[in-house]
Amino acid sequence: VLPRIAVPDGPLDPRTLFPSAREVWLEIGFGAGEHLAHQAARNPDIGLIGCEPYIAGVAACLARIVDAGLGNVRIHADDARALLPRLTPASLARIDLLFPDPWPKPRHRKRRLVDRANLDLIARCLAPGGLFRFATDDPDYAARTLALASRHGAFAWEAAGPADWRRPADAGPLSRCEAKAGSAGRPTVYLAFRRLP
Ligand SMILES: C[S@@+](CC[C@H](N)C(=O)[O-])C[C@H]1O[C@@H](n2cnc3c(N)ncnc32)[C@H](O)[C@@H]1O
């Protein structure tokens, strides 16, 4: 299945992969694909690209895609940082980064996906008004992402009150990490940033 739905190499306008889609969304680090497959099933008029270098996760996601007969998903089975620079600027309406590896030890924090350079890549690919959605159960990662995105200049934080960062991003099934955080009693922080024009 993967060769059929893999994202092609080279510079890419992702909208050409889904000619009849209203918008294209990207999920970075989809794990086993619970959220990606749910979004694809719930939004048949959207084209979804999933990025995940962990091949067992990709395999689990492919099984979901086949079982549900989803025709609106393409997979980049590799690092999102290799894909983002290849995409046409302002070509995505939404980018989801849900429970990225938290790298909780201070000396490992530079490995986190949210940093200034990757926010630049995300800002470049999002269309004006597009959404960057982030979720984590690591309080330090949540606070630093909020600080970095708020002073980046390309994003506006959407929250009006606490319910906005406590409410799950979707009504769908919980991702593996979201379920794990819940059963361990760790609250999740959900952040949604709007790409400024
Ligand atoms: C903690 S898991 C979360 C998985 C899933 N989003 C969830 O909520 O259950 C983080 C995922 O991000 C993936 N990941 C790490 N670095 C990545 C990168 N540079 N590009 C894309 N995915 C990455 C990992 O392989 C892993 O599957």
Nearest CA to ligand 1 atom 22: 29
- Residue-wise pLDDT for 92-109, tens only, equals 999 999 999 999 999 999
Q: CB–CB of 138/104 below 8 Å?
A: yes
Q: Which two tokens stand for residue 108?
A: 């490992």
- Using the mean position of ligand 1's atoms as its centre, give its distance from the Cα of residue 20 in Å: 29
Residue pointed to by tokens 């990606």: 36
Closest CA relative to residue 85, chosen from 124, 30, 45: 124
Exposed, middle or buried by CB within 10 Å (0-12, 13-18, 19+), for 42? exposed
How would residue 173 be classed by pLDDT, with cut points 50, 70 and 90? confident
Give the angle 56-60-61 at the CA atoms, nearest 5°.
115
- Using the mean position of ligand 1's atoms as its centre, give its distance from the Cα of residue 88 in Å: 23
Q: Which atom of ligand 1 is nearest to the CA of 98?
A: 6
- Residue-wise pLDDT for 12-39, tens only, equals 999 999 999 999 999 999 999 999 999 9
How would residue 182 be classed by pLDDT, with cut points 50, 70 and 90? very high
- Residue-wise pLDDT for 118-133, tens only, equals 999 999 999 999 999 9
pTM of the full predicted structure?
Answer: 0.98
Q: Which two tokens stand for residue 19?
A: 């000619």
Give residues (CB < 6 A) around ligand 1.
Answer: 28-31, 51-54, 57, 79-81, 98-101, 113, 175-178
pLDDT recorded at residue 174? 85
pLDDT recorded at residue 52? 98
Residue type, 97: L
Q: CB–CB of 91/21 below 8 Å?
A: no
Per DSSP, the residues of the chain read -HHHHBPPSSSB-GGGGSTT-SEEEEEE--TTSHHHHHHHHH-TTEEEEEE---HHHHHHHHHHHHHHT--SEEEE-S-HHHHGGGBPTT-EEEEEEES-----SGGGGGG-S-SHHHHHHHHHHEEEEEEEEEEES-HHHHHHHHHHHHHHSSEEE--SSHHHHHS-S-SSPPPHHHHHHHHTTPPPEEEEEEEP-
| Catalytic-labelled residue, pool 101, 115, 120, 140 | 101
Residue 77: pLDDT over 90? yes
pLDDT recorded at residue 61? 98
